[in-house]
A and B are shown apart, each in its own frame.
Chain A
Amino acid sequence: MMSQQQKRIKVLVAKLGLDGHDRGAKVIARALKDAGMEVVYTGLRQTPEQIVKAAIQEDVDVIGISILSGAHLELIPHVVNQMREKGLNDVVLVVGGVIPPQDVPKLKEMGVDEVFLPGSSLKEITEKITKAVETKRGIKVGNST
């Protein structure tokens, strides 16, 4: 009989807002791919609405946002609100980029699951994302082979 296949983590990686620096996002997207995840990369200059819309249609487990403009405290709440409004309560939200350490607790309070600052290792990022997915989505993940 057909048996259910093991779930792979699906991640949306997007650049929120107007800064045009996408190398970091691409490096992360590539690292997640190399960790066995399925990454949908939507690129530059995305609005919170566009990001959440794409996340819904793709049914991703994780939304990964890269932001280097300094506008994270302004823009992230819009993403969080959109996610709540659309019922994405079990989707992991992670943010990375140029973020002052003192803003990390604020972002987490808003509802961000993990914040990755410059210098985070790719290993740490993939491990934390995997863990967050397993607890928040309640699924066992099979990403090796």
Chain B
Amino acid sequence: MATLLEKALSGDELSIARLLTKIEYLSNEGLQSLEELMKRAGKAHVIGITGSPGAGKSSLIAELIEEYVRRGHRVGVVLIDPSSPFTMGSFMGNRIRMSNKNYNGNVFIRSIASRGHLGGISSEALMLIEALDGLGFDRILVETVGAGQTDTDVVSGVHTIAVVNVPGTGDEIQALKAGIMEIGDIYIVNKADKPEAEILYDTIRFAVESAEIDYRDGWKPRIVKTIAIKGVGIKDTVDLFEEHLTYVKEHGLFEKRIRERRIKMIELLLRRVLNNKIFEIVKENEELISKEINENYNLISTLQFLHDKIKESL
């Protein structure tokens, strides 16, 4: 009988889906399959789409999928939405923008909750990228959680970063700040039919032009205007992505980024393990900690005690 991995490799969607679940939950079969898939991976162009909540990332992705399929690609999509810090539940609404059209197995879309990871991307998302890459999807779009100014971890996960901006969200100062406005390879001005779109465009251009720093790997960021829900600017956007891909390949950066992505995946996986341990140990010792800190003021010895506990448990 064919294994789940074999069935997934043959393109069976349900098998792909179930394998991805095994991978994201770190089951033995999942991890072993991922190891196999990683041997086949390293071919896909991985593109991160980031930006603030409501900027239009999902709507853009829906259109980008269409365009890539038209150009003959197999597209994998990973949509990350936040988990609740209170219940760890998640309301993932990105897929509502996707038409769920039948692309005959050429498009695979998967939503994933951030599960406590910060930084816009998660170990699970990076594992899904590896898996989809290994399964033969040659363009992979990753939508980060609606990003704040410092959610820049996505840099280490992808070949190309598109930062989606919308008009009316601030002045030049926002564009000049550190963080998310430094990481884009391509800046997308979405909702370009709104007033102030020109101002935003000029603002970003000013920020890009006035930079005296060396651009990341020598690529000067590009800016493109889109109206996602009307399909305007989508071809130009994909053209820019492809141009960046060519640049990345010509400068020997394609493999380099994959290596970085895998290091990030390992780092985030370890962080996940450690975070769980810390959470458990703090919870187990809640009463003791509370007493030592609030009544006896033993800050240093309590920290030392917990530190040793964590060490023992690893």
Contact = CB atoms under 8 A, between A and B. Distances in A.
B269 A39 contact: no
B3 interface: no
Contacts of B235: none
Contact of B90 (A3, A38, A43, A59): A38
Nearest to A145: B88
B108 interface: yes
B89 A35 contact: yes
Q: Is the interface of B mostly helix, strand, loop or mixed?
A: mixed
13 contacts: A5-B25, A33-B84, A34-B84, A36-B84, A40-B95, A41-B96, A49-B102, A56-B17, A58-B110, A59-B14, A59-B21, A86-B14, A143-B88
Contacts of A59: 14, 17-18, 20-21
Interface string A50-65: 1001101111000000
A56 B13 contact: yes
A36 B273 contact: no
A5 B100 contact: no
Nearest to A61: B21
B89 A36 contact: yes
Interface stretch (B26-34, B65-73, B170-178): B26-34
A30 interface: yes
A5 to B, nearest CB: 5
Nearest to B107: A57
Interface centre among A40, A50, A143 (most CB of B within 10 A): A40
A136 interface: no
Interface of A: 2-5, 7-8, 29-30, 32-43, 46, 49-50, 53-54, 56-59, 86-88, 143-145
A108 B93 CA distance: 29
Contact of B89 (A2, A38, A54, A57): A38
Nearest to A88: B14
Contact of A41 (B83, B84, B91): B91
Nearest to B18: A59
A57 B25 contact: no
Given A38-B92, A38-B113, A42-B100, 17 more contacts: A2-B273, A4-B26, A4-B27, A8-B89, A34-B84, A35-B87, A36-B84, A38-B89, A39-B91, A40-B95, A41-B91, A41-B96, A43-B93, A49-B102, A57-B108, A57-B109, A59-B17
Nearest to A7: B25
A38 B113 CA distance: 7
A54 to B, nearest CB: 5
Interface in B258-275: 269, 273
B156 interface: no
B111 interface: yes
Nearest to A13: B91
Contacts of B87: 33-36, 143-145
B30 to A, nearest CB: 8
Interface in B131-177: none
A53 B88 CA distance: 26
A96 B262 CA distance: 43
Contacts of A50: 100
Contacts of A41: 91-93, 95-96
Interface in B172-195: none
A54 B214 CA distance: 43
Contact of A87 (B14, B16, B26, B273): B14
A56 B20 CA distance: 11
A132 B17 CA distance: 21
A34 B89 contact: yes
Contact of B95 (A30, A35, A42, A143): A42
A62 to B, nearest CB: 13
A54 B89 CA distance: 19
Contacts of B21: 59
A144 B14 CA distance: 28
B26 to A, nearest CB: 5
A8 B116 CA distance: 13
A41 B96 CA distance: 7
Shortest Cβ-Cβ A-B pairs, 4 listed: A33-B89, A59-B17, A43-B96, A50-B100
